[in-house]
Chains A and B, each alone.
Chain A
Amino acid sequence: MNEQIYMDNCVTTPLAPEVLEAMQPYFSKEFWYPASFVSTGEATSSAVHEFKEIIAKAINAHEEELTFTSGGTLANNIALKGLALAHSKKGRHIIVSLVDYPDLLTHAAYFEKMGFDLTYLESDELGYVSPDKLRSALRPDTILFMSTMVNHVVGTIQPIAEYAKVLAEADHKIFFHVDGAQAFGKMPLDMQALGMDTFSISAHKIHGPQGVGALWVKNGTRLSPYVHGVKRFDSLQPGGLSLAGIAGFAKAVELVYADLDGNIRQLRELSDYLLQELEKNIEYIELNGPRGEGRVCHNINVSIDYIEGESMAMMLDRKGITVATGSACASQGLKPSYVLMAMGKNHVQSHGSMKFTFSRYNTKEQIDYAVAELKVITERLRQLSPLYNAIKQQQEK
């Protein structure tokens, strides 16, 4: 295959051609910032209003509950610092889990430095954090619980609605922020039903442009302002934003939500097919995270025993295939994937972990090619591996 095969779509996705087209006018012809009483600025105001409606409708939110941001991480920052600072007089206890997205865990470390008290919930071996663990961690001074709806490494779907129920049963208000970057566009989301207070999403994970995100804030929720400046689009993220980016975001949402079920089904089929082919063709391989409905539709993460992930990923890269690994050798800090370690995997399982994440542009033919290449690579690296040789020798005895 001559084309580049990209299977790392949980990091970012290629821009859809329809999205690029929808963005074009806003780079040069209709570039104005929102304003009142002038036809140019008003045209933008009403366009932004429409874009927001499209996104709000997709997740059953009210339009005024959405703030455009310059990405998912900024949305997390505005929500988390905004909630913690606005409500710190009522308590200093915050809860997170050990398998959450780095945006949340770096906030946890920051909050600790600021004098907050943090509880880190443990996950089970599938990456699932049980609502019971949350219940027993609650304290009279708990003000905030943060969670990642879909785990970024193993695709585990956390029970968000059940968490919300646990929090609602407490005798005081506990705010609930959720990072939705890996969930948005991959499962039906209903802001009115899930029981969260704030929720972050991002455009470039669903074939929208890079550098645009949104924060949903439930009506009536008080946040301390985190970004200060002049209001152009929204008051929680003052200053300028990419108008073309916002237009592209709305178009990307429109495309996914025109047939959300169909999109999910297609991604699920690709994931199921990959797993089936991997298990058929490669021995000593195991799935990390849940199998089936408990897992998001676009993620497969496996550990291939006795060989190391950076070697596999680099050899695949030489064949034009982009995937990710949780190997310590592939990380600048030389640390194995903290998610896999928190799930109780050992170093070898983490070093040998490979993550494939799909988008609607992936095909079964690409999977066939990738599995065939990986099979050859696995055999080559295992011939080299002292661990594999030792196992084979034991088996012969």
Chain B
Amino acid sequence: MQYSEKVLQHFMNPQNVGKMEHPDSTATEGSPACGDQVTIYLKVDEASKVIEDVKFLSYGCASNIATASIVTEMAKGKTLDEAKKITWRDAMEALDGLPPVKAHCSVLAADTLQTAISNYEIAHGLKEVPNFSKETIIEELKKIIYPQVGEDIITLKMVKYVGFDNGEVLIDLNIMSFDQYRENVAEEIREHLSKYPEVKDIQINFPS
């Protein structure tokens, strides 16, 4: 496994590092138990909606730090609407790629940025708190990377069924028992979905 020169550059000299005092918006994603956590702070010009400053904190590996650094670089100076278009694929491309097992780091960084933007918009009445539905679950599953190939589990057609009823999430995954990443994927799904207050229970089924 090797990192690109670009990743190493951003890892050794990360941009936009540090805690921001009085940010206009902030978001934290990930958890120490999963090995990585990112916090992003935004300073937004209220009239032009331009992201004037952005800072991050990261607990995690080299690619975690590098992706947070590049995502903040990409967002700086953009309007909120422009920054909303930044995806984990863009971050990965800007870093000249990541090893497949590290792709989830770029998801975490891009995701944290999007949550910080969304938090700003909600706080400033620019949008409503979205309703939780089956679509929300599918959107979250698009952020779960299968580490072997570095692609998300929806694109890879690993999700056979998604159900949501009365606070209970039901997901059928097509990952066999001998797969070394089965538990990683299930854990990530739980982490992503359990942050929603609407979710009371998560059941993940595998082929027997």
Contact = CB atoms under 8 A, between A and B. Distances in A.
A384 B35 contact: no
B32 interface: yes
A307 B64 CA distance: 12
Contact of B11 (A311, A332, A385, A389): A311
A387 B37 contact: yes
Interface string B143-182: 0000100000000000000000000000000000000110
Contacts of A310: 61-62
Interface string B15-53: 001110000000010001111111100000000000000
B36 A329 contact: yes
Given A311-B62, A332-B1, A334-B181, A386 B36 contact: no
B58 interface: yes
Contacts of A327: 35, 61
Contact of B58 (A318, A351, A386): A386
Contacts of B35: 308, 327-329, 334, 336, 347, 351
A343 interface: no
Interface of A: 306-308, 310-311, 314-315, 318, 327-330, 332-334, 336, 346-348, 351, 383-389
Contacts of A386: 28, 37-39, 57-59
A385 B61 contact: no
Contacts of B61: 308, 310-311, 327, 329-330
A389 B57 contact: yes
Interface residues of B, number: 29
B141 to A, nearest CB: 18
B32 A384 contact: no
B97 interface: no
Nearest to B39: A386
Nearest to A307: B59
B77 interface: no
Contacts of A333: 180-181
A121 B123 CA distance: 54
A332 B45 CA distance: 43
Given A311-B65, A334-B181, A385 B59 contact: yes
Q: Classify the secondary structure of B's interface with A.
A: mixed
A346 B35 CA distance: 11
Nearest to A388: B59
B203 interface: no
A328 B58 CA distance: 16
Interface string B67-81: 000000000000000
23 contacts: A308-B35, A311-B62, A314-B11, A315-B12, A327-B35, A329-B61, A332-B1, A332-B101, A333-B181, A334-B35, A334-B101, A336-B35, A346-B33, A351-B35, A383-B18, A384-B14, A384-B17, A384-B18, A384-B59, A384-B65, A385-B57, A386-B39, A386-B58
Contacts of B14: 384
A308 B62 CA distance: 9
B205 interface: no
B184 interface: yes
A387 B32 contact: yes
A307 B37 CA distance: 11
A308 B147 contact: no
A388 B19 CA distance: 11
A384 B57 contact: yes
Contacts of A315: 12
Contact of A308 (B12, B18, B38, B59): B59
Contacts of B59: 306-308, 384-388
Contacts of B17: 383-384
Interface string B83-96: 00000000000000
Contacts of B32: 347-348, 351, 387
A318 B18 CA distance: 23
Contacts of A307: 59
A359 B12 CA distance: 29
Contacts of B62: 310-311, 314
Closest 5 CB pairs of A and B: A329-B61, A310-B61, A386-B57, A347-B33, A386-B39
A332 B184 CA distance: 12
Contacts of A329: 35-36, 60-61, 64
A185 B37 CA distance: 42
Nearest to B57: A386
A384 B33 contact: no
Contacts of B147: 334
Given A332-B1, A334-B181, A311 B57 contact: no
